[in-house]
Amino acid sequence: MTRSRRMASAVSALAVVAGGLVSAAVIGVGPARADHCDPAQASQEQQQGQRNRNNNQNQNQDQQQDQDQQGQDQNQQDQNQNQDQNGQNQGQNNNQNQQDQNNNQQNGQQQDQNGDQQQNADQQGQGGGRAVLDPAQNPDAQDPDAQNPDPEQTAETFGRRNRPTRNPGQGNNGNNGNNGNNGNNGNGSASPSPSPTASEEHNENECADLGPFVEDFVDIRQVAPRQLDARIGRGGSRGTFVSACGTNRNGHNNPDNFIVAPGVSNGAHHLHDYVGNLSTDGFSTDESLAAAGTTCRLGDKSTYFWPVLRDRKVDANTQDPDGNVGQVLRARSVTLQFRGNASSQVVAMPRFLRLITGDAKAATNGAGNARAAWSCTGFQNRISPDKYPLCPRGSQVVRILDFPSCWDGQNTDSANHRTHVVFPGQGGACPQGTKAVPALRMTLTYTVPQGPSFAVDAFPEQKHNPITDHADFANVMPDRLMQFVVSCINRGRRC
């Protein structure tokens, strides 16, 4: 009775699981991609998926144990039947032998009587006699069962558990013994738990390859404090100038980059936020930028852009071919500050100078050109170069993007977009043969969902790694405005 209940419960459980899978396949219900792409949720779902697989394995093990127990019971029953049959045969043989012995004894007695009579007759008639046949040497008196022995139970006839074996290749359901490559060589054993189908693996791991991952986040309070800026020396320039350009309220976004991929639509494969110049896209030129309007004050037509940050908890942009899923988060504040040099005065940037900072492919290229700096408001002495910050409640995520500021004095761009303007050395001084220009620092702040549930847009293979944060700038300030910026910085003013 216990085995029957266990078998019934196992079959019921398998039926429920199978029914659920069929229903999901028919209805087409699946998790919302963006919710499933939430790093925290994805981690929980992967753990739940592992627990489900373990439960299925346990159910299959219970079913296998039930089947093994049933097989053992059947073997025991077969053995008992064989023993009963052998006992009956043995009893019949004993009865037959006893009957034969009685018959032989009666025959012997009769023969003795006949012999005595014959002997008396012979003695009377001939005076001689003859030998009597020994029943033990009579071929007709052999064990009748010896003439019809039981068939031998050979290995070819019965398996290890006294079950009839199949010929090789006669697996379950006529599958030529393959049994789904489950390693049982088609012996009819119970199949192991079915492997997830391609669609199930896709649903479960749909965003596992997109990133970011839980390990890409860190509590900002666990980041060691460090000094971001070099100490300004006696000959340094201490002033600053801020270009106020807004936070992209007009929704100027596109996945282009006219500096590194000119003339290409979707050249960045991730969405950019733009402030400043209103015309910037993949086909921008010096002339088109100079002719356009701007969101900046004082007529600054420069273009400032960076990859957007997304809330991964929101089901938005799910059809993006590059995997940039989630709701775009508009920066709460954007500060575009031009700063001085730690050891020298600065000179004016040439108009249409193009700059990039960071490496959008640092996750695969390495950290050589990476310049990401993540922090939280109230903790800006704690800066993480390669992890998203988990900020305390009430604190905002901060992105700090510093641009190179040591110009070669001649070129507004270079083949790799880096060698014409480089970063100062460790002490803040520019390398020999270069001149210090105003150093641009972008500081962006965001209100993000609690937990590891946000990510920066990135190239697909970069998996939204925080080390890939980057930004771009092209100087389209009028010459008079640039001279004003230089004056503010060199005189130590805050403009």
Query: Which stretch, 15-24, 140-149, 393-402, has highest mean pLDDT?
Result: 393-402
Mean pLDDT across the chain: 75
Query: Which stretch, 92-101, 149-158, 381-390, has highest mean pLDDT?
Result: 381-390
* Mean pLDDT for the stretch of residues 475-483: 98
Which pLDDT value is given to residue 43?
Answer: 57
Which pLDDT value is given to residue 77?
Answer: 53
* Mean pLDDT for the stretch of residues 103-109: 45
Query: Which stretch, 112-121, 130-139, 450-459, has highest mean pLDDT?
Result: 450-459
Amino acid at 248: N
pLDDT confidence of 420, banded at 50, 70, 90?
very high
Which pLDDT value is given to residue 25?
Answer: 34
Q: Is the pLDDT of residue 26 over 60?
A: no
Backbone angles phi, psi at 384, to 5 degrees: -100, 125
Which pLDDT value is given to residue 334?
Answer: 98
Spatial distance between the Cα atoms of 301 and 280, rounded to a whole number of angstroms: 10
C-alpha count within 13 angstroms, C-beta hemisphere, residue 59: 18
Tokens of 132: 């009597």
pLDDT confidence of 292, banded at 50, 70, 90?
very high
Tokens of 94: 């004993």
pLDDT confidence of 203, banded at 50, 70, 90?
very low
Distances (CA, A) of 432 to 112, 193, 231, 422, 429: 140, 68, 19, 11, 9
Tokens of 425: 């050395």
pLDDT digits (tens, 9 = 90+) for 40-95: 666 555 555 555 555 555 555 555 555 555 555 555 555 555 444 444 444 444 44
Q: Is the pLDDT of residue 118 over 90?
A: no
Q: How far is CA 304 from the centre of its chain?
A: 36
**Under DSSP, is residue 305 helix (H, G, I), strand (E, B) or coil?**
strand
Query: What percentage of the chain carries pLDDT values higher than 90?
Result: 57
**Beta-bridge partners for 400:** 443
Q: Is the pLDDT of residue 457 over 60?
A: yes
Token pair 């193009």 is found at 354
Burial class (CB in 10 A: 0-12, 13-18, 19+), 122: middle
* Mean pLDDT for the stretch of residues 337-358: 98
pLDDT digits (tens, 9 = 90+) for 331-346: 999 999 999 999 999 9
| Of 146 and 60, more confident | 60
pLDDT confidence of 125, banded at 50, 70, 90?
very low
The candidate with the shortest Cα–Cα distance to 343, out of 236, 490, 229, is 236
pLDDT confidence of 209, banded at 50, 70, 90?
confident
Which pLDDT value is given to residue 110?
Answer: 46
Which pLDDT value is given to residue 269?
Answer: 95
Which pLDDT value is given to residue 61?
Answer: 55
Q: What is the dihedral of CA 289, 292, 297, 299, to 10 degrees?
A: 80
pTM for this predicted structure: 0.65
> At a CB cut-off of 8 Å and minimum separation 6, what does 363 contact?
458, 461, 462, 463, 465, 467, 468
* Mean pLDDT for the stretch of residues 191-214: 56
Spatial distance between the Cα atoms of 399 and 417, rounded to a whole number of angstroms: 22
Which pLDDT value is given to residue 431?
Answer: 97
pLDDT confidence of 20, banded at 50, 70, 90?
very low
Which pLDDT value is given to residue 73?
Answer: 53
Q: Is the pLDDT of residue 21 over 90?
A: no
Which pLDDT value is given to residue 55?
Answer: 58
Asked if 373 and 443 count as a contact pair (C-beta separation under 8 A), the reply is no
Q: Is the pLDDT of residue 230 over 60?
A: yes
Q: How far is CA 419 from the centre of its chain?
A: 39
Cis peptide before 212 (omega within 30 of 0): yes
pLDDT confidence of 142, banded at 50, 70, 90?
very low
